[in-house]
Structure 1
Amino acid sequence: MSAKQEYSRVIGADSSAKIMTPKGDTDENTERQKQLPTYLTVAQLAACWRVSRSIIYALVSGGQLPSIRVGLGRGTIRILEAAADAYLKKNSRDDEQTFAEHFS
Structure 2
Amino acid sequence: MDIRQAIAAERHDLAALLDQLTPAQWEAPTLCAGWRVREVAAHMSLGFRYSLPRTLTELVKARGSLHRMTDRCARRDAAAHSTGQLAAFLRENADHPWQPPMTG
User: TM-score range with shorter-chain normalisation?
Assistant: under 0.3
- Please, what TM-score do these two structures have when normalized by structure 1? 0.28
Larger strand proportion, structure 1 or 2? 1
**TM-score, L = length of structure 2:** 0.28
